Amino acid sequence: MSYALAWCLLCIYAMWPLYVFTMAMLRAHAAGTVTHFAWVLAIPIVLAAVALDVILNYTLFALLLWDFPKSGEYTFSSRLERLVRGNGWRAKVSRWVAASLLDPYDPSGRHIK
């Protein structure tokens, strides 16, 4: 396996636990159960998650979906919101990602509207 492919797979895999952590912190914050100290400790991880999301959205995810983000679609989730409403293979992949990897961990229960 080439280093580039391994790096791509690692980046994709890293995004998901960062997303799950971020959603858990949002859920705890909304419930009022997160301490101020824990919230401060979480800030660098959440910022890293957002930064990686934006970078991957414009690079690797653009190549994988063969779809460059439109204006205002800075995160992968914002692009998925557009793609799930479409037809074809991109819509099917987007719906699967939303239902399997994102929605179960969002505090509202539905990450992609």
Nearest to 11 by CA among 43, 51, 44: 51
Specify if 36 maps to a domain.
yes
Specify if 68 maps to a domain.
yes
Nearest to 29 by CA among 16, 17, 18, 40: 40
Query: Tell me, what's the pLDDT at 2?
Result: 87
What pTM did the predictor assign? 0.87
Specify if 112 maps to a domain.
no
14-43, pLDDT tens digit by residue? 999 999 999 999 999 999 999 999 999 999
Specify if 22 maps to a domain.
yes
Which parts of the chain sit beneath pLDDT 70? Answer: 1
Domain that holds residue 21: 3-105
Total number of domains in the chain:
1
Specify if 70 maps to a domain.
yes
Specify if 110 maps to a domain.
no
